[in-house]
Structure 1
Amino acid sequence: MKSRGPYYRLVYQDSAGGRPDLVDLVQRSANHCFAREPSRRDGYARQALARFDEQALDHALGMFVPGLDQGIGGLPVGIAAAPFAVQIRYRDTLTGTKAAFLAASRYGARWQARHVCGGTLIAHDWVLTAAHCMIPSAVKKNTLAVQLGVTDVRGNDGRGVDVDGAIVHAGYNRGGGRLSVDGKYDLAGDIYHNDIALLHLAPDRGQRDPAKVSTVDLARDPVAPGTVIQAVGWGLSGQSGEVNSVTSVLRREVFSVVANADCAKLLDYGPASVAAGPGKQVAVERVHPGVLCVRGTRTKTCSGDSGGPLFAETGKTLKLVGIVSWNKDGCTMTTADRPGVYTRVSAYLDWIDRARKHVPAPGQLIFQP
């Protein structure tokens, strides 16, 4: 077995296999990298914490550090199978916090450090994705881009287009905390209510190959239980040695729809308690009409797939039915029989129409009710 590297021990030696405290990770990173240069060490820690972006670091850790999630299943496929699928990524590997990419660069290649999420091209200049993929600081600094028509994200495959601004559902709720413009919210929990967002793309007058880049229609009606559907993405596909294996090549997974009532039983979830104001808690259902549950045979979407498309074949056309949102207990092989939970597109058609009437200015993040 390949031995654990020094950074693995640094991060996980006292964490009992769980996610380490993120602020503490920054300090320990500085201590490790500048052990013989105290002045540089202290300066690095101060700078990193001064512009600390918790969500960006969370993305990096979830993608590259072992023990957080393990992806399973899926087969490589060309972008022509889903030409509406897009990769959301940083413009370069220097974007975001140095701490985030310190974690990523220890384990991953440069292309891995750029990957954020998947998305779906629903119009020439609009990409639909998950709200939990949004990194407010990256939106405000105009450091996000999308790659269209890409099969292998390692090279120059596809066409890059910058993200101008973003619109997030104002009711998005993760773990009992609401996402704010400064990117602060409770990282714990898996409620993910209204997990939907739109990216507005910068003007792109270049030629797009229709075989590799095209929009997809939104499903207007709920899909019935038992319907066969597909998902594509560049998420985790297994473990290789000491790190999660992030696939650079687009992969496709096949699922069947599970009725929400059955899904709630399989996930063994009751109502969650969510803050509704100072000192006030309300009970909400995790599996509600705004989500869609699917299950595969020893396969799940996973970290990196988030925000990507779930689609069904209707006649000779493909329709977007869902957005990759969350799994209970991660996406390990031992939980492959549990349904994954997706944002149900047909439940948010009115929201999408309203949101697209408000084109964000460059660097603007809008919260749309």
Structure 2
Amino acid sequence: MYPLLRSSAAVLSLCFLAACSSSDSGENLTANVEPSNCEITGHSYGIVGGQVLGSGNELSSSTVLIVTVKENKEYSICTGTLIARDKVLTAAHCSPPDTKAIAIAFTNNVGCMSEAPKRTLRLVVDKAVNEDYPHTNSIYNASNDLAILKFAGNIPEGYKIRSLPSATFSPAPTDTLVMSGYGTTSEKAGDSGTLRFAKSSASNILGNSFFLARSNRTVSVDKTIIVEQPRTGVCSGDSGGALYAKTKDGLTLIGITSMGVDHRALKDSDVRICHGVAIYVDVRENLNWIREQSDKLDRNNL
């Protein structure tokens, strides 16, 4: 198996999650004991050669942190995009079988989530996972690495729903790609949990295939967008995050982060998964599935 990008894990106290679970609606956003100014502002290097995202801008207003609690009291981090008032689009591998183990955090850093759980956290109550995703570690599974999480409660003030793209939208080579996520800034960094973004040129899109040096062959992955990331790109924890095309009309959602592959490395010991290519599920190829499953989730909760 090839080393792939997957969501990172951190060992932290989970008492904040227990506090949130006492309310099944998640609507208590203004508890007096919780600070309202714990969000990050300013800029620094992040995502891989990117910048920290503060609150209230075009990217952070539709990006959420996905937290999955594990049996050993650790938790894994992924990224998601708000596509409805109670739904988040993310990667299938960010959605474990136990829905009760997943929470959505409306915050740009994990520290704020732990300080203000009632304001930031929403519990996942239902989900739709692409039935063709086998939950095994393979490049080819990126074709179907897509899920929708439905959560309880309302979205906080300042957050906005991200529109789906048209099936015919296509970025020009001169357009800019923008990726966002809560992942680490390098393969060895332990700094996941802060929302960051990075930019790249749309000319770095390779289509849905790339040459894998270790196998000396070209790999093609259906229904994906493969982007070369020589200097900036996604890393562990950015799984499920959005890939946007920035045009004169603004940001258009085109992909969901599935994994990273170091396609240049000739042997496993040289692999750096945060450098190489990033594989995104093509949202335009999955519009029917997204709409059908969103409607089904609504019917399930009538």
Q: TM-score, length-normalised on structure 2?
A: 0.70
Query: Separation in 1 of the partners of 2:216 and 2:290?
Result: 29
Residue 108 of structure 2: aligned partner: 151
* 2:294 maps to 1:294: no
1:97 paired with 2:55, answer no
**1:297: Cα distance to partner?**
4.4
Query: Does residue 1:235 correspond to 2:213, yes or no?
Result: no
Match of 2:147 in 1: 197
Q: Using the TM superposition, give the Cα deviation of residue 265 of structure 1 relative to its aligned residue in structure 2, in angstroms.
A: 3.4
SS at 1:218's partner residue? coil
Once superposed, which parts of structure 1, at least 4 consecutive aligned residues long, lie more than 4 Å away?
Answer: 266-271, 330-337
Change (3 A) 1:222 1:312: same
Contact 1:298–1:333 (Cα < 8 Å) also in 2: no
Are the equivalent residues in 2 in contact too, given 1:323–1:344 (CA < 8 A)? yes
Shift of 1:339: 2.4
Distance 2:287 2:126 in 1: 20
- Secondary structure of the residue aligned to 1:209 is coil
* TM-score, L = length of structure 1: 0.58
Q: In the alignment, what sits opposite 1:339?
A: 277
Q: Find the residue that maps to 2:122 and give its secondary structure.
A: strand
Which position in structure 2 is the counterpart of 1:304? 237
Cα contact 1:84–1:121 (8 A) shared by 2: yes
Aligned partner of 1:255 in structure 2 is 200
Partner Cα distance (1:251, 1:333) in 2: 23
Match of 1:265 in 2: 211
Verify the 8 A CA contact 2:205 2:228 in the aligned structure 1: no
Amino acid at match of 2:71: T
Match in the other structure for 2:56 = 80
Is residue 130–residue 197 contact of structure 1 (8 Å, CA) maintained in 2?
yes
Residue 248 of structure 1 aligns to a residue in which SS? coil
- Do structure 1's residue 329 and structure 2's residue 271 form an aligned pair? no
Asked if residue 131 in structure 1 is aligned to residue 131 in structure 2, the reply is no
Q: In the alignment, which residue of structure 1 is the partner of 2:160?
A: 214
In the alignment, what sits opposite 1:106?
A: none
Distance 1:309 1:193, change over 3 A: same
Q: Structure 1: how far apart are the matches of 2:96 and 2:171?
A: 31
Say if 1:163 and 1:200, in contact at 8 Å, map to a contact too: yes
Kept after mapping to 1: 8 A contact 2:178/2:199: yes
- Structure 1 CA distance for aligned equivalents of residues 201 and 217 of structure 2: 23
Residues 171 and 194, structure 1, Cα contact 8 Å, conserved in 2: yes
Give the aligned residue type for 1:344: D
1:190 counterpart letter in structure 2: I
Instruction: Give the conservation status (yes or no) of the 8 Å contact 1:313–1:319.
Output: yes
What is the DSSP-based 3-state SS (H/G/I as helix, E as strand, rest coil) of the residue aligned with 1:167? strand
Matches within 5 A, 1:30-109: 62-63=8-9, 72-81=48-57, 82=59, 83-90=61-68, 95-98=69-72, 101=73
Relative to structure 1, the CA distance from residue 144 to residue 63 in structure 2 (aligned partners, 3 Å threshold; closer, same or farther) is closer
Counterpart of 2:32 in structure 1 is none
- The answer on whether the counterparts of 2:233 and 2:274 sit within 8 Å (CA) in structure 1 is yes
Instruction: Give the root-mean-square deviation of aligned CA atoms.
Output: 3.3
The 1:152/1:254 distance shift into structure 2, 3 A limit, reads same
What is the letter of the counterpart of residue 309 of structure 1?
A: A
Q: Map of 1:339-358 to 2, 5 A cutoff?
A: 339-358=277-296
1:334–1:166 Cα change, 3 Å = closer
- Tell me the percent identity: 26
1:175 paired residue number: none
Count of residue correspondences: 247
Q: CA deviation at 1:260?
A: 3.8
Q: 1:261 to 1:295 in 2, by over 3 A?
A: closer
What is the CA-CA distance between 1:89 and the residue it aligns to? Answer: 0.8
Separation of aligned partners in 1, 2:176 and 2:95: 29
Task: Rate the CA distance shift 1:347–1:214 in 2: closer, same or farther, 3 A.
Answer: same
Quote the Cα distance in structure 2 between the aligned partners of 1:75 and 1:230: 11
Give CA-to-partner distance per residue, 1:174-210, whole Å, 9 cap, x none.
xxxx24xxxxxx44x32222111100111x24x7222
**What amino acid is the match of 1:168?**
V
Query: Could you tell me how far 1:286 is from its partner in structure 2?
Result: 3.6
1:306 deviates by 0.2
Alpha-carbon separation, structure 1, partners of 2:143 and 2:225: 12
Residues in 2 aligned to 1:153 and 1:335: alpha-carbon distance in whole angstroms: 23
Select which of 189, 208, 222 maps to 1:244.
189
Amino acid at match of 2:239: S
Asked if 1 retains the 8 angstrom alpha-carbon contact of 2:261 and 2:275, the reply is no
